[in-house]
Amino acid sequence: MFQPQWEAMSREKLEAVQVERLNAVLSKVHERVPLYRSRFDESGVRPQVATLDDVTSLPFTVKDDLRSQYPYGMFAVPRRDIVRVHASSGTTGQITVVGYTRTDIDNWADLMARTFASAGATPDDVVQVAYGYGLFTGGLGAHYGSERLGALTVPISGGNTKRQVQVLQDFGTTILACTPSYSLLLAETAEEMGVDITSLPLRAGVFGAEPWSENMRTQIEQKLSITAIDIYGLSEVLGPGVASECSEQHGLHVNEDHFLIEIVDPETLRPVEDGTYGEVVFTTLTKEGIPVIRYRTRDISRIIPGECPCGRVFRRMERVSGRTDDMLIIRGVNVFPSQIEQVLTGIEGVAPHYQVILGRKGSMDTVEVHVEVAPDTEFDEIRELEEMQRRVRSEIESALAVSIGVRLVEPRSIERSEGKARRVIDQRGDA
Ligand code: DLL
């Protein structure tokens, strides 16, 4: 553990710290951020809590709130105390800006050092940071954490995949930080270059920023001969470093000394029991630049009940299976692309590269999954290809209880991504 004094403290002490920090942050935003002041005052809420349960009486914050205050309206400190900004990666609409004070950057480095340490990293490691550097939080977030841990940090950023493979080889990289989909592109490129990636010193990957399934993990671990660790975060709350898996690979420990997690029913917005799925909501406890109160992430997860054998006190959230905005409703059944992925990546003969195409026929919406045939699969006859297509279809149907069109496509014909993969292509035009 990087900070055992926090990560393995008693639950009782942790909760006392949370209440104290929550009250400090509530006073601060009430005093300094007009949006929070008017919202608290209008709903007659006193910006103080006696217990953690009282947090449920506070109003929620959503992405549109941050957008409405673009760019600097949510800052809880004078502009001159902000030393860095990042922006969220939203593909549509106004971007949202987040600001960090020097203390925020310092805490973030600690939290990302925790993340690397929980993946087993030490100062002896060589960490290749292939998340994008820039307004996206992945690159610089991982960079500061890796340096804080004392590892040799290679700030290569995303892209230029052949050079990445060269660096993996020449620099003796032991830990790779990038999106899970990009790790597959690296493996594929290494193979094309005639490099046996499994024989390199690479031993672990710290992967996140997009949903990925358990079967995808298995495939990545096999192809790269590494341990793949899931890491989670979002710019509005911090960036990476909000939660990460330990070597148990069973749920992501939420850094609860810095973030209060709630899981709520996305319809009623009432808290759900531990173990039940719902929307993840975070309140920051230490952020100075932009604290957020009950921020609705739109990510779906649940708290995994019980303690983790690793000894960390922080509760675990399950891997994020998807976002409420990415959920497909296919003839009344709710499906996340990652569930389709879980099925596809369990079938021999297809590659872990796929896209879900939304279309329209007349007044009907259509859904078709395009998935690549594995490069070493050969079909002598069309009939075999059709047979395979039928098999994929029926596996999806039996696992998810929806029937979706399936089209097998040529190896390497689906667009590869150097950052977050685009899994859903909406061709409905007016949608
Ligand atoms: O993606 C921060 C990050 C960078 C996390 C590097 C991990 C590694 P945003 O660009 O603001 O921030 O996107 C945040 O990405 O709300 C989730 O929907 C999704 N996401 C992030 N990590 C995971 C994960 C960064 N491990 C949004 N599993 C979040 C599933 C994830 N989804």
Q: What separation in Å is there between the alpha carbon of 202 and the centre of ligand 1?
A: 23
3-class SS letters over 105-148? HHHHHHHHHHHHHHCCCCCCCEEEECCCCCCCHHHHHHHHHHHH
Atom of ligand 1 nearest to the CA of 420: 1
Q: What separation in Å is there between the alpha carbon of 251 and the centre of ligand 1?
A: 15
Domain limits, the chain: 1-325, 328-430
Whole-number pLDDT of residue 89: 65
Q: What is the pTM of this model?
A: 0.96
Ligand 1 within 6 A of CB of 115: no
Ligand 1 within 6 A of CB of 96: no
* Burial of 424: CB neighbours in 10 Å, binned 0-12, 13-18, 19+: middle
Whole-number pLDDT of residue 430: 59
Ligand 1 within 6 A of CB of 158: no
Q: What separation in Å is there between the alpha carbon of 210 and the centre of ligand 1?
A: 5
328-430: CATH topology is GMP Synthetase; Chain A, domain 3 (3.30.300)
| pLDDT tens, position by position, 136-172 | 999 999 999 999 999 999 999 999 999 999 999 999 9
Q: What separation in Å is there between the alpha carbon of 230 and the centre of ligand 1?
A: 10
d(CA 229, CA 246): 7
Mean pLDDT, rounded, of the chain? 95
Of all protein residues, the one whose alpha carbon is nearest to atom 4 of ligand 1 is: 138
Quick one: residue 378, left, alpha or beta (phi over 0 = left, psi -120 to 50 = alpha)?
Answer: beta
Ligand 1 within 6 A of CB of 419: no
Atom of ligand 1 nearest to the CA of 297: 16
Give the CATH superfamily of 1-325: ANL, N-terminal domain (3.40.50.12780)
Per-position DSSP letters for 177-200, written without gaps between them:
EE-HHHHHHHHHHHHHTT--GGGS
Q: What separation in Å is there between the alpha carbon of 319 and the centre of ligand 1?
A: 11
Of all protein residues, the one whose alpha carbon is nearest to atom 9 of ligand 1 is: 234
Whole-number pLDDT of residue 139: 98
In 1-119, the DSSP E strands lie at 82-87, 97-101
- pLDDT grade for 362, boundaries at 50, 70 and 90: confident
Ligand 1 within 6 A of CB of 132: no
Whole-number pLDDT of residue 325: 87
Mean pLDDT of 19-41: 97
Whole-number pLDDT of residue 425: 94
Of all protein residues, the one whose alpha carbon is nearest to atom 13 of ligand 1 is: 234
d(CA 273, CA 203): 37
Whole-number pLDDT of residue 90: 65
| pLDDT tens, position by position, 71-127 | 999 999 999 999 999 998 666 678 899 999 999 999 999 999 999 999 999 999 999
In 182-246, the DSSP E strands lie at 204-208, 227-234, 239-245
Cα 162 to Cα 141, 166, 195, 228: the distances in Å are: 24, 6, 11, 21
Mean pLDDT of 225-233: 98
Whole-number pLDDT of residue 390: 95
Whole-number pLDDT of residue 92: 64
